[in-house]
């Protein structure tokens, strides 16, 4: 898998306590998902690569309203990441036992365009149509999610 230039810092994400809100893209497994932490943090988990042992994910710090904007078609995934996600991104390898292994933190500017989809990538219900989870297909319920307090990004 491609090597990143890490900042040397840790993300501070408590991987044991994050929980799924909804998958935003799914085919034979999740490809993009919205998770929250126990203190109200909002995360986007974005699949980018794999090898024989791990699936590699980028974990973005984001905001509830931004995710809702994406789901409701008011912003693209590209803009969601560029405008509404923190500069620091955790790079995490998940093994076959679904254990999270944080490899490091990168800065958004170091991401290559190949990971960020086309600029016109609006959410489409087709993205989660193959999901076997009823909660993913009931995605419109996210409109009732109350605003969470913004969490200070890791220094």
Partner 1 sequence: MPKKGNLFIFGARKKCNMRKLKYQSEIAQLIAKGGKMPDLCFPNNNLAYRFVFRDSANNHLTVYVMQPQRALKDKAVVEGYALSCFETKEAADKMRQRLALKFKAIGDSICCGNLDNADGLITEPSETSRHFELFEFENCDLSDKFKIIETYGKI
Give me the least distance between CB of 17 and partner 1, in Å please. 10
> Which positions from 64 to 103 touch partner 1 by CB under 8 A, shown as an x/- string?
------------------------------xxx-x-----
Q: Is 49 in the site for partner 1 (CB under 8 A)?
A: yes
The whole-angstrom separation of Cα 87 and Cα 76 is 18
Q: Are the C-beta atoms of residues 118 and 108 closer than 8 Å to each other?
A: no
Count each helix (H run) and each strand (E run) in the chain, helices first: 3, 6
Q: Is 27 in the site for partner 1 (CB under 8 A)?
A: yes
Give me the least distance between CB of 48 and partner 1, in Å please. 9
Torsion angle, alpha carbons of 23, 27, 29, 35, to 10? -10
Give me the least distance between CB of 45 and partner 1, in Å please. 6
* CA triple 126-36-5, angle to 5 deg: 85
Of 39, 48, 49, the closest CA to residue 19 belongs to 39
For residue 39, give the DSSP letter.
Answer: T
Give me the least distance between CB of 151 and partner 1, in Å please. 19
**According to CB under 8 A, which one of 24, 33, 90, 106 is a site residue for partner 1?**
33
Token pair for 60: 């973005």
* Span interacting with partner 1, options 4-12, 47-55, 62-70, 147-155, rule CB under 8 A: 47-55
Can you give the binding site for partner 1, defined by CB under 8 A? 18-20, 23, 25, 27-31, 33, 35, 45, 47, 49-50, 52-55, 94-96, 98, 114-115, 117-118, 124-127, 129-130, 132-133
């Amino acid at each position: 898998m491609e090597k990143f230039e890490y900042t040397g810092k840790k993300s501070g994400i408590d991987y044991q306590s994050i929980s799924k809100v909804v998958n935003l893209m799914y085919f034979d497994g999740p490809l993009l998902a919205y998770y929250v932490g126990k203190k109200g943090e909002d995360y986007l988990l974005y699949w980018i690569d794999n090898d024989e042992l791990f699936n590699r994910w980028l974990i973005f710090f984001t905001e509830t309203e931004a995710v809702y904007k994406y789901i409701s078609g008011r912003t693209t995934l590209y803009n969601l990441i560029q405008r509404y996600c923190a500069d620091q991104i955790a790079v995490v390898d998940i093994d076959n036992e679904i254990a999270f292994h944080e490899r490091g933190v990168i800065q958004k500017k170091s991401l290559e365009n190949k990971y960020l989809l086309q600029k016109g990538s609006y959410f489409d219900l087709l993205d989660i149509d193959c999901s076997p989870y009823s909660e993913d297909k009931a995605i419109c319920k996210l409109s009732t999610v109350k605003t969470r307090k913004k969490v200070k990004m890791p220094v």
